[in-house]
Structure 1
């Protein structure tokens, strides 16, 4: 059981201030005041606001007209309520099962539907917005920036809400006190994630347009050339009933609409003159309402599934060949945890073997991240030949998603609850200190980034002492040749990290107050004990943000039926990837894209489509060994270059072989292998002799005798 900021807390039978059936979120266990802070978010009731009527531009002559008063129902607003429990009472409740911890959230309950989305991309399509969402979120962060910087001291303040209210009134302009409290609590509880301060944009447009209170004469939506009508329940029902009758193979949308308007809605056509423009238009002789073409097909697409609409218009076969993607061929089978961490790299003594010739490759370099409080190694990254910034980012990615999820990407099944990144990271002045060693997303940057003095290993002794030592002797220079590839060695080093976390003795790190909770004197035992009572400062990062922030982006090609990287094909059955493949269906089209890769093992890659990440798996047209499936990116690039060279060799071989077979055939038969001439017209076999010769030739080809 892991308890960090954002962990869901329940009290099944009630416990002190915790009510039965209520949901709480863990915020902090203070080492100074010995107080545990939880938060409950309750929704205040919806509020109905009547907007004032005002003059707006309108009409053909540009005259101003009066807009009607509007009734707007504001959505229920969340209200944060802090709950305080003494640490001994809190830990006693956990021990007795009176308090139960659930999953850890990175988004508040009212934004659950936005989990995993790239919210920054939404602003890219809002070019005409008065103010972008990111600017509104920045405004919120500015209002609480002072509070966040002093968060530990503020959270230990005697009257926290009163302190925050005073801060809200001191701002210029003065801010709403309840909103500032909400922003501050949400930002801290959900891992200092700026997306947690976003707006519930997924609720936009979900109000019932058919409700009687919304049946206004004024046309909703953007103004058009003509006023038009709001869609009513009866009108929508007629649209749904008319479409199956009018749609068919080869029938255009315009034809469907005009047929529905004239035959189902009773509209007619007339000629109108407006100024010097003379044109036809649809109208209803009795003045009844009818939908415009945009509204008509909006409700059609809302009611019927998109693939059924396409099949109705194009036919099942053409819709399948034109839009449905290929499914593949038949042949393919400190005191708190993470309060401070240290990172460093070491070189593996064994040299990996090459994939093509089995030669000795440059040494594998391993970067590990170690937690100071428990001594546990929480992250691991790899590079080849030298220590690189990408290896440090990979190690941070491992820590962000957890050892269990990272092991699955390497093909290993393990159990480990460690997950999250530290706000305080210590590295030396090597590649890990460069800009390339930092996450791509500024929100994932450590709050404190400490660099040790040059050539001062003792400044990060925690991780230095855990690095494997290179054996030394007075013999002639030598090296150890491994029989494993780069990926196999990386998997082996990951296994050694897991063994280190369980075998190392860290008795000096056991807090006397928690000794009864420590089941074993290993980093894992200390971690589990501290994590079970909420002494964990790890910042939680959702998987999608970790991929976008830490992994490398490499070029790839989206082709008909798959995505290709360095000659390897990747595929997923997800709807998002199927939609992406439909954009390149047919005609040999391909699109240059970029995907996120885990360099040490590219069995899986991540492709972004419309703001959502899709995990793709490597796929070969024939069964291959696990060693081939688990190649590193460097090995895949090398093998692809090798195969391209062999393809060129085969092309040259083909030309020479063709000449050989043509000459050999002529020497043995005296005839040309490719002979004959093209004659215009049809072959003539009208005479009796010609017909008999044709019959003899036909029977001789199958070994029959002519009677």
Structure 2
């Protein structure tokens, strides 16, 4: 048991106290007595001193009649809320708010008074007389010249009971105004009356407060303001109307009955509803969650391996591409990114034109699963393996509820998670990786690039490599990474984690990635070659050549294949269970960049080729008519200047002519 220990007695300390609780103050060897202190609230704080014979008190403790409580406060009643708080910081806040009275100065003044009483023998003051209360009062009057002996006695006993701590003398004003107003049975309105227009005052009951909250919630959630919710409430429940006055209109109740004021209405709302609930009602759940709700931690706190969790999202490129012929494209480039939660590196990237599509997400998965050197080569880019080192399939992916949620995973062990709609905080890693643009005031403007879609795709790939090498990833740095001096960029963090086998990546073959993630199409193959739409393809290996040699003459077959939607220069076809890579070729020697087209460009070229074929047929008929007309006018008017005869008749006629000519020569 320590000084200040809170004790409990069922029989109220043998009937000597009005309460069951008291605090241990002192055990005197000189006077063979024990002193306890009880604290009560009687308008003002009140302290009573209880004395027991030492033997009797110890017997009561041994028998269990007096025992320590589970909760042991360190401050007097009324100051419990200050336990563990920095009072000096609290007082600085009060001074900044313009409070005139300093509680610290009051505490120092009380300590000076108590120190004056403690200069003499405290043990004699408490145990040296039959009436210690009278002894304390006499000492207060003689040494401090104060008449409020009851108040000073409370300060003295609180100071001694709680370890002579100066904080025990702090004014107990922290709970002022926090009492339960419903405990007062009177129906009169509490607080000062209004300064102007003293209308009948209404006290807010619990039922009325609940009605106010329901009214506020139903009105504000529909977009109404707090003022509109208040006026709707008083009109519905109190029949309030408007009273015209020369100095300004006011609200009134026709029968003179009281009704709540706007300040009462706002007070009840802010008392019964949390500020977070009010903000969610005013701005909506999505805006509150996205911009107003406090941060609850980082997603990276729940992962320790690369490829353990990824987040995917699509963002529009800041510029509009131009067409292959230089015209302005109306369809923007959409870029899908797959961001690793642990390292922040972009594991894969995909593209689509116009709108967000599942094809862009599949391309991002394809990019993630294969070597980035191979992926860049498909677009005509030459990069190093260390520029983009990550290869594998993720263990789990987070999508929004868009087209990305419709794709299937190559790995059956992968887990798919979808975020709530309109909630970018559900995948902040990938949302934060999107390029930022500065909002400009004035009329809306569009940025037009001088690059076509394929060139913009190349630019985005190089830009992503730059971001992997330069983005600030210091928030993911562990103390060990800092000690090892790992550069706080996604590439280096990924390499550090992957080099220590902290990876959850799965591996699939290139052929499996092609079959799973690329768009399936049908190629036309014959003995003359391989084609898709308007593009001709060629295989440098022997497998396709042998397959074509087995085909019947003048026959065309469809075989399955796969293409990368934004690069049709390379494609893959299925032959006897084998995946064969084929490359597009030009009919003439020309610029190799013409081979880099998107699937949409190739399909558009096929439509244009069919249109040109129709034009050629019409032009051929027109040329034939023009030829016949010019021949008749400039060569021969007869359209039939030749006839068909048997070849044998021609030979016989020629022989007759030769014999006749020979006879003439010899005659």
Structure 2 length-normalised TM: 0.51
1:659 aligns with 2:631: no
What corresponds to 1:702 in structure 2? none
After TM superposition, give the deviation of residue 688 of structure 1 in Å.
5.6
1:551 aligns with 2:518: yes
**Which of residues 510, 522, 532 in structure 1 aligns to 2:499?**
532
What corresponds to 1:423 in structure 2? 395
After TM superposition, give the deviation of residue 426 of structure 1 in Å.
0.8
Distance 1:358 1:661, change over 3 A: same
1:602 and 1:691 map into 2 onto residues whose CA distance is 71
What corresponds to 1:187 in structure 2? none
What corresponds to 1:336 in structure 2? 305
Instruction: Write out aligned runs for 1:293-332 (5 A).
Output: none
Gaps of 5+ in 1: 1-333, 694-707
1:575 aligns with 2:537: no
What corresponds to 2:581 in structure 1? 615
2:514 and 2:356 map into 1 onto residues whose CA distance is 21
**Which of residues 472, 481, 506 in structure 2 aligns to 1:514?**
481
1:380 aligns with 2:349: yes
1:499 aligns with 2:466: yes
**Which of residues 322, 325, 335 in structure 2 aligns to 1:366?**
335
| Higher helix proportion | 2
The answer (yes or no) to whether the contact 2:559–2:574 under 8 Å persists in 1 is: no
Give the SS at the match of 1:465: helix
After TM superposition, give the deviation of residue 461 of structure 1 in Å.
0.5
Instruction: Write out aligned runs for 1:382-401 (5 A).
Output: 382-401=351-370
Distance 1:689 1:564, change over 3 A: closer
Q: CA offsets, 1:229-287, max 9 Å, x none?
A: xxxxxxxxxxxxxxxxxxxxxxxxxxxxxxxxxxxxxxxxxxxxxxxxxxxxxxxxxxx
Give the SS at the match of 1:362: coil
Give the SS at the match of 2:502: coil
What corresponds to 1:605 in structure 2? 571
The answer (yes or no) to whether the contact 1:368–1:395 under 8 Å persists in 2 is: yes
Distance 1:478 1:682, change over 3 A: farther
The answer (yes or no) to whether the contact 1:553–1:595 under 8 Å persists in 2 is: yes
Distance 1:559 1:475, change over 3 A: farther
1:347 aligns with 2:316: yes
1:673 and 1:516 map into 2 onto residues whose CA distance is 97
Equivalent residue pairs, number: 354
Gaps of 5+ in 2: 1-302, 663-667
2:516 and 2:405 map into 1 onto residues whose CA distance is 17
Distance 1:545 1:656, change over 3 A: same
1:438 aligns with 2:408: yes
The answer (yes or no) to whether the contact 2:397–2:417 under 8 Å persists in 1 is: yes
What corresponds to 1:126 in structure 2? none
1:411 and 1:471 map into 2 onto residues whose CA distance is 32
Instruction: Write out aligned runs for 1:196-215 (5 A).
Output: none
Q: CA offsets, 1:398-446, max 9 Å, x none?
A: 0011322211211112123210011111111111112xx224x4xx245
The answer (yes or no) to whether the contact 1:354–1:361 under 8 Å persists in 2 is: no
After TM superposition, give the deviation of residue 487 of structure 1 in Å.
1.4
Distance 1:692 1:482, change over 3 A: farther
The answer (yes or no) to whether the contact 1:336–1:537 under 8 Å persists in 2 is: yes
The answer (yes or no) to whether the contact 1:518–1:526 under 8 Å persists in 2 is: no
1:460 aligns with 2:460: no
What corresponds to 1:412 in structure 2? 381
The answer (yes or no) to whether the contact 2:572–2:581 under 8 Å persists in 1 is: yes
Give the SS at the match of 2:520: strand
2:659 and 2:442 map into 1 onto residues whose CA distance is 92
1:517 and 1:691 map into 2 onto residues whose CA distance is 112
The answer (yes or no) to whether the contact 1:337–1:531 under 8 Å persists in 2 is: yes
The answer (yes or no) to whether the contact 2:328–2:448 under 8 Å persists in 1 is: no
The answer (yes or no) to whether the contact 1:514–1:530 under 8 Å persists in 2 is: no
After TM superposition, give the deviation of residue 483 of structure 1 in Å.
2.6
1:451 aligns with 2:418: yes
After TM superposition, give the deviation of residue 358 of structure 1 in Å.
2.6
Q: CA offsets, 1:612-635, max 9 Å, x none?
A: 211111112222323321101110
The answer (yes or no) to whether the contact 2:308–2:396 under 8 Å persists in 1 is: yes
After TM superposition, give the deviation of residue 674 of structure 1 in Å.
6.2
The answer (yes or no) to whether the contact 1:518–1:529 under 8 Å persists in 2 is: no
The answer (yes or no) to whether the contact 1:337–1:536 under 8 Å persists in 2 is: yes
Query: Greater relative contact order (Cα 8 A, min sep 6): structure 1 or 2?
Result: 1
Distance 1:496 1:664, change over 3 A: same
After TM superposition, give the deviation of residue 603 of structure 1 in Å.
1.1
Distance 1:335 1:674, change over 3 A: farther
The answer (yes or no) to whether the contact 1:685–1:691 under 8 Å persists in 2 is: no
After TM superposition, give the deviation of residue 682 of structure 1 in Å.
2.4
Give the SS at the match of 1:350: coil
After TM superposition, give the deviation of residue 473 of structure 1 in Å.
2.3
The answer (yes or no) to whether the contact 1:429–1:452 under 8 Å persists in 2 is: yes
Give the SS at the match of 2:654: coil
1:375 and 1:642 map into 2 onto residues whose CA distance is 44
What corresponds to 1:480 in structure 2? 447
1:626 aligns with 2:598: no
After TM superposition, give the deviation of residue 685 of structure 1 in Å.
2.6
Give the SS at the match of 2:427: helix
After TM superposition, give the deviation of residue 390 of structure 1 in Å.
1.4
1:480 and 1:626 map into 2 onto residues whose CA distance is 28
Instruction: Write out aligned runs for 1:45-444 (5 A).
Output: 334-355=303-324, 358-414=327-383, 415=385, 416-434=388-406, 437-439=407-409, 441=410, 444=411
Instruction: Write out aligned runs for 1:663-678 (5 A).
Output: 663-672=629-638, 675-678=641-644
Q: CA RMSD in A?
A: 2.2
Distance 1:690 1:469, change over 3 A: farther
Give the SS at the match of 1:603: strand
Q: CA offsets, 1:492-537, max 9 Å, x none?
A: 1111111110111212222222345555321111111111111111
What corresponds to 1:240 in structure 2? none
Task: State which drifts further: 347-356 or 587-596.
Answer: 347-356
1:523 aligns with 2:490: yes
The answer (yes or no) to whether the contact 1:364–1:384 under 8 Å persists in 2 is: yes
The answer (yes or no) to whether the contact 2:515–2:562 under 8 Å persists in 1 is: yes
Distance 1:452 1:674, change over 3 A: farther
Give the SS at the match of 1:352: coil
After TM superposition, give the deviation of residue 692 of structure 1 in Å.
6.7
1:555 and 1:688 map into 2 onto residues whose CA distance is 64
Larger radius of gyration: 2
Distance 1:663 1:405, change over 3 A: same
